[in-house]
Amino acid sequence: MIINTGGRTDTVQYYTEWLLNRFSEGYVLSRNPLFPRKVTRYELTPDKVDCVVFCSKNYRPILPRLHEITDRFHTYFHYTITAYGKDIEPGVPSIDKSIETLIALSEQVGKQRVAWRFDPVLLTEKYTIERHLETFDYMAKSLAPYIDRCIFSFVEIYKKVEINMPELIPLTDQDMETLAQGLGATAEKHGIFIQTCGADDKFTQYGIHSSGCMTLDILGKANDITFRKLKHKGMRQGCHCIESRDIGAYDTCMNGCKYCYANRTPRKAFDNYKRHDPMSPLLLGDLKPDDTVIQGAQKSFLAAKRQG
């Protein structure tokens, strides 16, 4: 199975101690977001986890102890660095600081395990098409030697995003074409493999590949392991990723990104953080007497059992 540490929250930035404790103790509990009294237990041991996938906007807090996980597990790292500033992403380091941290991460784990996420791409009066393309070129020049690929996507305007970010300017088809053409040309100039996330084959004419951002092919090549040929069910419409199990929780990320899909409101995450205990097997709170704990299915995707 694949463990995902960062789909619901920026676990690496805000819950580093908890995450390291869970891998040290060898298990984690995850509360079902739809049925809160149902809790699933996953074993966090190399014989039960094929690969650990991370996604964060700041790996700096975990870098000194990241080896505690990478020494034992196959891993892959998504690092999100966008064109936005504190007005859109108040809890995220500056672009230059983020570039420095990505380079440090890549030097530690190897460029084949690091994907740069330039997403979501959205428009406001301040963040224009021109600004996106200029900033992307600036970042691509520095990051090209340190990444496996670049992944981008366009913003999904959910109801809560509309409420939290009224300044959004809806992307037209022409806007997306112009952005895709510019991103593709810049990626080619810097020798970067670029792909979309959940956009099928729309922009292949600009040198942009269509793929899931978390596939067994990507994870296998990054770690020099072979997976079985399996259908990738995806996580939502248009997604081509392999199924994974997320051990985080919604409404817990304090980055405060105005476009966030995983928080109802930025304030909710700060309120929930008060319930966090680094020693608990749950990201938030502890088990309650009326909770039902089940053992999660952890079937391996590997083509053959790991040796040694």
pLDDT of residue 99 exceeding 80? yes
| Average pLDDT estimate for 234-240 | 62
Number of Cβ within a 10 Å radius of residue 172: 10
69/150 Cα distance (integer angstroms):
24
Q: Mean pLDDT for the chain?
A: 93
Q: Specify whether the CB–CB gap between 121 and 259 falls below 8 A.
A: no
Q: Specify whether the CB–CB gap between 255 and 90 falls below 8 A.
A: yes
Helix (H/G/I), strand (E/B), else coil: 31: strand
Interval 181-206: pLDDT, tens: 999 999 999 999 999 976 666 899 99
| pLDDT confidence bin for 231, thresholds 50/70/90 | confident
**pTM reported for the whole predicted model:** 0.94
Assign 3-state DSSP to the chain and report helix, strand, coil percentages, each to 5.
30, 20, 50
Pairing of strands 75-80, 51-56: parallel
Interval 248-290: pLDDT, tens: 999 999 999 999 888 887 789 999 999 999 999 999 999 999 9
46/104 Cα distance (integer angstroms):
25
